[in-house]
Structures are given as C-alpha cells and as structure tokens.
Amino acid sequence: MIEILKLQKSYGKNLILKDISLTLERGQIISILGPNGSGKTTLIKSILGLVIPQVGDIRFEGETILGGWEYRKKIAYLPQIARFPENLKIRELVNLIKDIRQQNADDDYLIQFFGLEKEMAKSLRSLSGGTRQKVNMLIAFMFDSPVIILDEPTVGLDPVAITRLKELLAREKDKGKLILFTTHIMSLVEEISDEIIFLLEGEVYFKGSVSELNQLNGSGNLEKAITNLMEERNV
Amino acid sequence: MFKIFKYSFFDLIRSTWSLVYLLFFLLTTSAILYMSGDLTKAIISMMNVILMLIPLVSTVFGAIYLYNSREFAELLLAQPIKRKSFFLGQYLGLSISLAISFVLGVGLPFVIFGVIGSSYLNNFLVLMVVGLLLGFIFSLLSYWVALRFENRIKGFGFALFIWLFMSVIFDGIFLLILIWFESYPTENLAIVLTLFNPIDLGRVLIMLFLDTSALMGYTGAVFYKFFGAFKGIFISALALILWIIVPVFFLIRYANKKDF
C-alpha cells in the first residue's frame, strides 16, 4: 500500500534518513522504533508530505506522493504535540477538519467514547494536556481512513485513555487498515504491533515481528532485545 | 482556501489583541479629532500615526500569529489540502482581521465627526486605503519572515528590523545619499529608492492626493514634478500593490518546499 524507495533526507549537512526502502501493507499495526534522532518522525512526516525528501520516492497505492495532496484523504494523522488555536471551541475545530476533509465522520460516537461530551463547547485554550490529546485522537480517528499514522500517541494520556486507544487501534486493524506509529513504550509495542521497524541513524536496522526480534537476540524480553540491538551496533 | 481563511479569521477576531488594537485606534482617532477639531488637520495627523503604527502592529501580529499556529499548521497540512491554499487562507485571515480593527477603529470616529458628506471624504478614503495596503504589506512580510526562521527570536528580530529599516533607517540613508550627491541630479534615484519603501510610497500617495505641497517633502515633490499628480498617484498605488503580489509569490514558492 505504501512503498518507500531509497528515501534520503538531510537538514543542512545533517543526514537524517539514509537510503530507506520499505514496503508497508494493509491489515497491520507497524511500530517504528529507534533512539532519539534516528529519523522516526522525519520518516512519518515524509509519508505525510510535511517533509520533502531530497532523494527517493514514496508511492501510495502505486502513485508517487511528491507534489500531490489528494492521497492524504486516505490518511489520518495524530501529531505528537497537540496545540490548537486558542480561541476556537472543540466543536468548531472538529467542524473545521470535517469541512476540509469532506468525508463522513463518526465524531458523535468517538466524542462519547473519549468522554468529551461536556467539553465540546469549551475553548481549546482552557483544556488540560490529556484532554487536548483526546481531542487530537478524536480528529485523527473520526474518519474512516485506510491508513492511520500516530506519532507518540500515548504521551500525556491517562491509563483509561491508553486502554481506549488500544481498543480503537485493534478495531481499526480488524477493518484491514494500515496503522503506523512511533513510540518509546515497549510494552505497547509488544502488546499491539505485528511488525517492528527499528531505525538507527537513519537506516532500517531491523524489520520483522516481535517474536523474530526476540529470537534473534534470545533474550525473551523486548526491552532487552532492543537494548542488545543498539549495543551490538555500538561495539 | 476559504475554509482556512474562515477559521483563522474567527480565531483572530475573537482574540484579545484584536480588541486592544480596535480600542487603541478608537481612542487615538477620537482624541486627534477632538483636539484638532478640524478634518483636514486630523487627516494629516492620522496619516503620521498610520504610517508609523500600522506597519509596526502588522509586523508584530504577523510573526506572533505564525509562531503560535506553527503546530496546528502541521496538523492541517497533513490533511488533504494544498499548501498554497493553507498559507494564503491563513494570511488572508490574519490581514483581514487586522484590517477590520483598523477600519472600525479609525472609521467610526471620523464618521461620527461627519466626514461623510463633507468635502474631505475622498482624502479620508485615501488615508484608509493606504492604511489597509500597508497593513496587508507588513503582515505579509512578517508572516513570510516568520515562516522562514524556525527560531522565533531571529524571526521576530528580522521582522522588526524590516519595520525599523523602512520607517526610520531608510529615510536616514535617503537623506545621506541626497546630501552626498547634492551636486548631481538625484531625482531619478529618489524615485527608484522610494519605490523600494512601501511606507514612503504610502506617504507620497496621500500627499499627492491631498495636494498639500508644503508637507510633500523631497520625494513627494519629485514625484509631483516627474509624473504630475494623477500619474504619481497611479504609480505609487501600483507599486504598493506590487508590494503585495511579489511577496505572495515568494511566500508560496517558499511554503511549497519547506519542511514542517
């Protein structure tokens, strides 16, 4: 569904992505892991067209995304930091996004799901960090997009909201969607992801399932396996 | 584009700053009208206020707004929307909300004072048009500068420098050049230099229209001598409009290749 071909991106002299090639298929939850500065967010943003690569191509359903924008109708995005215009109300924000996307939205259900009914008429300035993140999720999940991209989705969420998020992801996956997320929380990866892409210094260092990674390192614990992976590299 | 315009316009028009800006103009204009008691004098005084403050306030607002909506821009740009529509929409929302505060703040006191139906209506309208154009130009310049500089302090500094340059430093350099080259004919040079400064262009435009030669200054006089009043007005207005069109072109070109 998404093909990344020999992608390279540098900021000035700083090479962030070095020759990344990946194929991502539907019906999977894929987690992108890696230490800080390994290029996770840059990779995600390249797929979204927010970052423009210097070399290589990204194809969405066989067509290049470079210079395009209509393919984004099929992508839902949950950014890392949720900061919204201060003087808008949640309801107005939701309407704005619906207005831009012109797609059927399942917002009423999700508003209930996240318990946001009472907050809808509040202005965005007055919300707590956790509530903002819920609004963020509401915006990302209210459309029936075949691809969902999440950047650090669990930051700032309480345990209840994290459980809800996991439920939601499992349900969307069953609909045959492609879900792509970055995180630093290994338990979440172990629990929900089908595949791991481990980035290190801008290269795909490992791609495979959780059990494959565990077998490879023989540690039986994902956190240790990842640590081993990184240490091996340094030796 | 219109959807983005609508949201940023409603976001901005409800901000406290728009209200402060409106109140400021209401107070200043009323005070000037009250103290001068005469429409011509008030128009001239307001011209000086407008030429100084509209560029400054638009510069500050433009940069603040872009930096504040930075993360939200990221979210919206990940939606199916063209970058061009997003940035033009946001810029229009910004400049038009500023324009409304300005038109209401300056317009209301003048209307109450009876400018409509007086023989000064045209002069007043020219003042308003120049104020609007300067607002559009300077909010555009600082919006563009803020987009270019990721670092807020640098961006702010640079945007404010543009304002300071156009409103103060430029005139100083201009004067120096005229003194250095006093034995040469400097008219053409003066005209060209003026075209590069929207604030001077605004001043020349108003002066030519008001036909107050005593206040025209060197550039105004040169414009008058060179082009005559009508052509001078036309050329300075055209140059001001180019000051919007050209930066918009660069803004879009830059926005299309920027990483977010």
How is B37-72 classified by DSSP, letter by letter? -SHHHHHHHHHHHHHHHHHHHHHHHHHHHHHHTHHH
The angle that helices B39-68 and B70-77 make with each other, rounded to 10 degrees, is 60
Task: Let me know: does A139 contact A94? Beta carbons within 8 Å.
Answer: yes
Higher pLDDT residue, A77 or B214? A77
Of B74, B80, B259, the CB nearest to A79: B74
Minimal CA–CA distance to B128: which of B149, B167, B99, B156? B99
Closest-CA residue of chain B to A46: B259
Share of chain B above pLDDT 90, in %: 53
Higher pLDDT residue, B132 or A109? B132
| Cα–Cα distance, B94 to B91 (Å, whole number) | 5
Q: Do A11 and B259 touch (CB under 8 A)?
A: yes
Q: Between β-strands A55-60 and A2-11, what pairing exists: parallel, antiparallel or unpaired? A: antiparallel
Q: Flag whether residue B180 sits within 8 Å of chain A, measured between CB atoms.
A: no
Closest-CA residue of chain A to B80: A72
In this prediction, residue B99 carries a pLDDT of 95
In this prediction, residue B72 carries a pLDDT of 87
> Lowest mean pLDDT: which of A197-211, B137-151, B189-203?
A197-211
Find the mean pLDDT for residues B232-250. 92
Q: Which amino acid is at A135?
A: V
Using a CB-CB cut-off of 8 Å, the residues of chain A touching B19 are none
The Cβ-side half-sphere exposure at B49, using a 13 Å CA radius, reads 21
In this prediction, residue A119 carries a pLDDT of 86
Output b/e per residue, A65-100; b: 16+ Cβ within 10 A.
Answer: beeebebbbbbbbbbbbbbbbbbbbbebbbbbbbeb
Of B8, B79, B257, the CB nearest to A52: B257
In this prediction, residue A220 carries a pLDDT of 65
**pLDDT per residue as tens, chain A (235 positions):** 888 888 888 888 888 888 888 888 888 899 998 888 888 888 999 999 899 988 888 988 888 888 888 888 899 998 887 778 888 888 888 888 898 888 888 888 889 888 888 888 888 888 888 888 888 888 888 888 899 999 888 887 888 888 888 888 888 888 889 999 998 888 888 888 889 898 888 888 888 887 777 777 666 677 777 777 777 665 5
Higher pLDDT residue, B104 or B215? B104
Q: Which amino acid is at A49?
A: G
The Cβ-side half-sphere exposure at B148, using a 13 Å CA radius, reads 18
Minimal CA–CA distance to B113: which of B174, B40, B11, B166? B40
Output b/e per residue, A31-60; b: 16+ Cβ within 10 A.
Answer: bbbbeeebbbbbbbbbbbbbbebeebebbb
Minimal CA–CA distance to B191: which of B139, B138, B236, B146? B236
Determine which of B6, B11, B12, B65 to mutate to test the interface with A (most A C-beta atoms within 10 Å): B11
In this prediction, residue A205 carries a pLDDT of 83
How does residue B92 score in pLDDT terms, banded at 50, 70 and 90? Answer: very high
Higher pLDDT residue, A210 or B165? B165
Closest-CA residue of chain A to B2: A100
Minimal CA separation from A10 to chain B, in Å: 11
Arithmetic mean of pLDDT over chain B: 89
Output b/e per residue, A214-234; b: 16+ Cβ within 10 A.
Answer: beebebeebeebbebbeeeee
Range picked from A112-116, B132-136, B255-259 for highest mean pLDDT: B132-136
Tokens of A40: 């996770």
Of A45, A84, A101, the CB nearest to B80: A101
In this prediction, residue B216 carries a pLDDT of 66
What are B145-150's contacts with CB under 8 Å, separation 24+? Answer: B145/B63, B146/B62, B146/B63, B146/B66, B146/B67, B147/B66, B147/B87, B147/B251, B147/B254, B147/B255, B147/B258, B148/B254
Range picked from A16-30, B123-137, B216-230 for highest mean pLDDT: B123-137
In this prediction, residue A234 carries a pLDDT of 58
Closest-CA residue of chain B to A151: B75
Q: Flag whether residue B151 sits within 8 Å of chain A, measured between CB atoms.
A: no
How does residue B33 score in pLDDT terms, banded at 50, 70 and 90? Answer: very high
Phi, psi (deg, nearest 5) at residue A67:
80, -5
In this prediction, residue A148 carries a pLDDT of 92
Tokens of B86: 């997003």
Size of interface A-B (CB pairs under 8 A): 74
Closest-CA residue of chain A to B81: A69
Q: Which amino acid is at A202?
A: G
Of B11, B15, B260, the CB nearest to A51: B260
Does residue B172 carry a pLDDT above 90?
A: no
Q: Which amino acid is at B119?
A: S
How does residue B142 score in pLDDT terms, banded at 50, 70 and 90? Answer: very high
pTM of the model: 0.88
Using a CB-CB cut-off of 8 Å, the residues of chain A touching B72 are 83-85
| Cα–Cα distance, A75 to B206 (Å, whole number) | 52
Residue with tokens 């001598």, as numbered in its chain: B225
Tokens of B157: 């500094």
